[in-house]
Amino acid sequence: MSAARNVHQMGVAELSTALAEKKLSSVEAAQDLLARARTHAGLGAYLAFNEAATLAQAQAADARLAAGERTPLLGVPIAHKDIFVTRDFPTTAGSKMLESYQSPFDATVVQRLAQQGAVSLGKLNCDEFAMGSGTDNSAYAPAHNPWDVSRVPGGSSGGSAAAVAAGLVPAATGTDTGGSIRQPASFCGITGIKPTYGRCSRYGMVAFASSLDQAGPMARSAQDCAALLTAMAGPDIDRDSTSLDHPAEDYSAALLQARAGASAAQPLKGLRIGLPQEFFGAGCAPDVLAAVHAALAEYQKLGASLVEISLPRTELSIPVYYVIAPAEASSNLSRFDGVKFGHRAAQYDDLTDMYKKSRSEAFGPEVQRRIMIGTYVLSHGYYDAYYLQAQRIRRLIAQDFQQAFTQCDMIAGPVAPTVAWKIGEKSEDPLANYLADIYTLSTSLAGLPGMSVPAGFGAGNMPVGLQLVGNYFREAELLQTAHAFQKATDWHLKTPEGF
């Protein structure tokens, strides 16, 4: 068998068609991409493989295809961010604390994709415990941006973004706590969507900040993200107390639905896109703004209208997030004490000494920093002043969005203030890293769905993403809006030289 195009050039939808038409087998696709991943190992996108398990999954998918079964993901290779536990692959969360840890069960997201026939190629690099904006906080090796390997791919889902952008896998899972799907998708020129908080189960996701963490897909197009999200989303209330009892949706079918009053020339006629004035100020680099404005002009051609709005508490999202997220991290990571699982110090004097040495040896600097901040804001005498106050402002940030949605159907703006920076450039300045999340944090704090859509290039020929934010449970509308843009443009088809 041979495909019309090389496997690494094909997206999820194209691969699915090739598999169904017997132009390619799932085993061949998996072998091709595993070999490609080994060739580009220096990119640092992958942390673990299990070729025997991958090929067994591919053989099972080929048997299902031969029996006449058809699903959009059957036999399609994907890969998982190393924050989801997996039976067939080690799960480290990018940390020495969990080095070589093997889970006895699969995360719900992993399980649901496997049930649809997706074939897992391996585990993808990430910032340690998903804490970071560049995947240079990984305890094993930094991931590199395939558009310029001297730059970060974004974080914390940087391994996922780099792997998709470099053609090492057609799609991957990611997690977004404060922008960790959208920002790396922007930096690497791919599409990524963070659904409404609670839309995808957190069962089996190594926890960072429980009220913020959310799983989502990363792929080259909105069409491919829709196929993955259809499989991933849905209630899991028996296993995840934060899962929402909201029925699953077919997002792929939603892409084909026409808006009322729309035409072939203007498929988005009647759509009101809100532009927050706080997203377009002096803090955003001119090259990023130029790409975003060009994308918005394209949306106007497609029939959408632009409306000026305000999200007045945007600047407060950084201090609010960096109180709440570390507080929850401090609580969640207290379980890693060297007793039942995870790293244990080789030498210690007593139980307390074992705790101290095990955690000091295995947690990296950024994780230690956030644990210390979180422990401080939760401590007696500071809880009311910091944590409770942050939760109050969080509610006001969510109210700002609801006020904005009375004036528009969707919100748009940049994903990040700049294109991807050089690896190590912000390592010694945590605050600079935190400020880079200014446009994504508020969406996460409000629990809203948001996505990044490739929208052009900025300085150094580096990708720029357009951020789209919808109201609760409006993922279908976000994907539909992104899909219309991608049918009219080819930014999502661009690939980095050498890959």
Catalytic residues: 81, 156, 180
Q: 285, 279 in Cβ contact below 8 A?
A: no
Gap between the Cα atoms of 352 and 338, Å rounded = 11
- Give the number of residues written for the chain: 499
Q: Which helix (H) or strand (E) holds 176?
A: strand 171-176
DSSP for 396-460 reads HHHHHHHHHTTT-SEEEEESSSSSPPBTTTTTT-HHHHHHTTTTTHHHHHHT--EEEEEEEE-GG
Query: What is the residue-wise DSSP string for 226-277?
Result: HHHHHHHBS--TTT-TT--------HHHHHTPPPTT--SS-TTTT-EEEEEG
In angstroms, the CA 27 to CA 35 distance is 12
| Nearest-angstrom CA–CA distance, 325 and 455 | 30
Instruction: Indicate the DSSP class of residue 206.
Output: P
CA 77 vs CA 34, 92, 250, 280: distances in Å: 10, 21, 20, 38
By CB neighbour count within 10 A (0-12 exposed, 13-18 middle, 19+ buried), where does 297 fall?
A: exposed
Q: What are phi and psi of 251, to 5 degrees?
A: -70, -25
Cβ–Cβ under 8 Å, residues 178 and 212 = yes
Of 256, 290, 228, 242, nearest to 77 by C-alpha is 228
Task: State in Å, rounded, how far the first CA of the chain is from the last one.
Answer: 23
Residue with tokens 């300085």: 459
CB 109 within 8 A of CB 200: yes
Return the CA Rg of the chain: 21
Structure tokens at 386: 């910091």
Place of tokens 């993955």: 228
Amino acid at 87: R
